[in-house]
Structure 1
Amino acid sequence: TYPKALSVSIGEAVITIIGKGSGMIEPNMATMLVYIFTDAEIETPLLDNMLRKAVHTSFNMLSVDTDMSTSDTCIIMANGLAGKVDEHRFLETLKFACVEMTKMLARDGEGATKLLLANVNGARTEDEARVIAKSIVNSPLVKTMAYGADPNIGRVLMAIGKCACEVRPEKTEVRINHRLVYANESRVDFDEAEVRKLLNDDYVEITATLNIGDGCATAYGCDLTEGYIRENAAYYSS
């Protein structure tokens, strides 16, 4: 594990985030601590609303291993010393910073060697897009596919299809790091060596375009390795 912190600016103001956590993270935060500090001047009710919107598309879409504990925290504090800022710009910057911290937490998952993203576009609803995106990053077979750099597209299709969501195979497209690998109800004739090379990167992005609605979501996770097993099997707890 490594320290996770970042800062971004909005004019004269700054947002700084410090995060902690590497396992037992899912379904909505769980076993993670995130502290956000800003010197922007924003009223408490508005700041609370902004944080909830930012968490919805970041920390609540993070999963390391589908497990959880009773302890998590995400808190934001503002001292107002930098004065007022444009509220829309602040919200968008806060969302960006939370997503970047989410990626850092996922990349530092127990035993992880790769950051795994799952984008779902064109789902029937946003809720269904969130369910499918989480299913992809949570699948042990997809996670090990990413680790082994094996372009087994059937594993991704399985993770999509097992959800209780509307999916039409004839409309579905799947891409790995922007390379089309599935369309028109069949595996695309792609260069397997090329896709293996894409999967060998430490950043694997899977995009499922369902083409049946306007629902979109992105989930953040990591690969599953021998390191995760060693880390969780090699100690005694009572």
Structure 2
Amino acid sequence: MKKVLMTSLVAASFAFGANDTQIIEFYGNVLPENLKATVQERKALDSSSGVESVVVNISDGKVTQSDVIFTKGDYVFPDVIDVKKGMSYKATFGEQMLEKNLAKVYKEEDKKYIISLGKDKKNPTKVMFSDPECPYCRAELKEIEKTLKDTNLKIIITPVHDKSSLQKTHLIYKDIAKAKSDSDKVKILRKYFDEKYEVKDGLVSDKEVESIDKLRQKYFATGVRSVPKFVDEAKLLK
């Protein structure tokens, strides 16, 4: 779905017309039949440029992804760059949408899926999305003691890899439920994040894999696209 979305956005720069109906019709012509586009909102980028930002939702009926495009007159653009500020409006608005969507889900998340590390009230807390088969996540885990010196972590495992990663995630949550200390939790994470670790046949059921898949899909729907991903918890709780 992401590949289709990116392809359509590039093509959108050649579209004519910029009202809601024309934008929806354009996407209808380039998206597969099972995907539908709707305009969620549009607003002026600023008071003088005449450019509007348009939030477009693309859904297959189960999962919805939001993206932002920009329009002025009869033109549609995939991004607007402010060279003076060195800022991509698409990236900025994308992060704002992610935080807004994440906040709704995070506030209602079952505590068993949030791995808390660090309790220093003087330190800020970051929510980290991770995956036991992600090389960059393994690198973050390798340095986690250093990170915890000045940052508390709330880890939610949202695998971007396939079945074995989902199985490992289930085992992590199962074992961490019995952990008595942060050091115990870190040991468990390192056990299953180890690239040499392999899940034995029959250790995790299909139902348990499905449960973790639902967890990750919930966060993918908010806009989490890759791991490791860090978000300030304060932004999700305000």
Write 1 or 2 for the structure with the bigger share of strand: 1
- TM-score relative to the length of structure 2: 0.29
With structure 1 as the length reference, what TM-score do the two structures score? 0.29
Structure 1 or 2, whichever has the larger Rg, is: 2
